[in-house]
Amino acid sequence: MSGSSPLRRIRVSYGQTSKEIDMTRHRRNVHLRPFIAFLVGIFAATATAEDAWTQEKANALATTLATSLEAAVTQAESGPAQAEAIQQRKLEAALIDLRQMSRMANDLARKLDAGEGRDETTPLVRQISLQREAVQFYAKDTTVRSDTRETSESAIAALSELEALYAKH
């Protein structure tokens, strides 16, 4: 084991037996992280809204969010299969949660378009924001195409602005 990095080799003990596992193939590859960056970006609420809440602004942001999430789901579904089975299961779980977010965003846009106000739609915005944690959890260690990441940019901005808009009183 001389010359080998201690971070790449570990010793695993199972009761009376032990074996050495080469962690080189389990090492997290930076190139396999775009889906995480995509999702973290979507759900990071860092933007600030300068104006007060208005029906038109909230409706426009919700529509942009719904459209962007639908496109991201479609592109992620048509993306490549994952290298390992556990990654594939995580991607499938993330897609389930992403589809749920897309449905919630569509509901939000419909409600705002129908004239429902801030008080009626705030719980739905909170649900969309909370759903991001599940998506982020399952999206770890998965891979998506670069076009999916690019499509997410408008969703990133829309969700951040929407959360900031609803946070203002």
Q: What is the pLDDT of residues 85-136, one digit of tens each?
A: 888 898 899 889 989 999 999 999 999 999 999 999 999 999 998 887 787 7
Q: Give domain status of residue 11, yes or no.
A: no
The pairing of strands 9-14 and 17-22 is antiparallel
Distance CA 163, CA 120 (A): 15
Q: Give domain status of residue 16, yes or no.
A: no
Distance CA 160, CA 169 (A): 16
Q: Give domain status of residue 109, yes or no.
A: yes
Number of structural domains (the chain) is 1
Name the nearest CA neighbour of 105 among 139, 69, 75: 69
How far from each other are the two terminal CA atoms of the chain, in whole angstroms?
61
Q: Give domain status of residue 157, yes or no.
A: yes
Instruction: CATH number of the domain at 139, please.
Output: 1.20.120
Q: Give domain status of residue 41, yes or no.
A: yes
- CB 160 within 8 Å of CB 49: no
**Predicted local confidence at residue 40, as pLDDT:** 64
Q: Give domain status of residue 97, yes or no.
A: yes
Residue 150 lies in domain: 30-167
Name residue 12's beta-bridge partners: 19
Name the nearest CA neighbour of 159 among 113, 118, 109, 110: 109
**Predicted local confidence at residue 26, as pLDDT:** 45
Q: Give domain status of residue 130, yes or no.
A: yes
Q: Examine the pLDDT at 83 and tell me if it is beyond 60.
A: yes
C-alpha angle 53-58-63 in degrees, rounded to nearest 5: 175
Pick the residue with more confidence: 62 or 94? 62
- For 105, residues 6+ apart whose C-beta sits below 8 A from its C-beta are 62, 65, 66, 69, 128
Q: What does pLDDT average to over the chain?
A: 77
CA dihedral 43, 45, 47, 52 (to 10 degrees): 120
Q: Is the pTM of this model over 0.75?
A: no
Q: Give domain status of residue 40, yes or no.
A: yes
Name the nearest CA neighbour of 125 among 62, 81, 36: 62
Q: Examine the pLDDT at 53 and tell me if it is beyond 70.
A: yes
Q: What is the DSSP letter of 17?
A: E
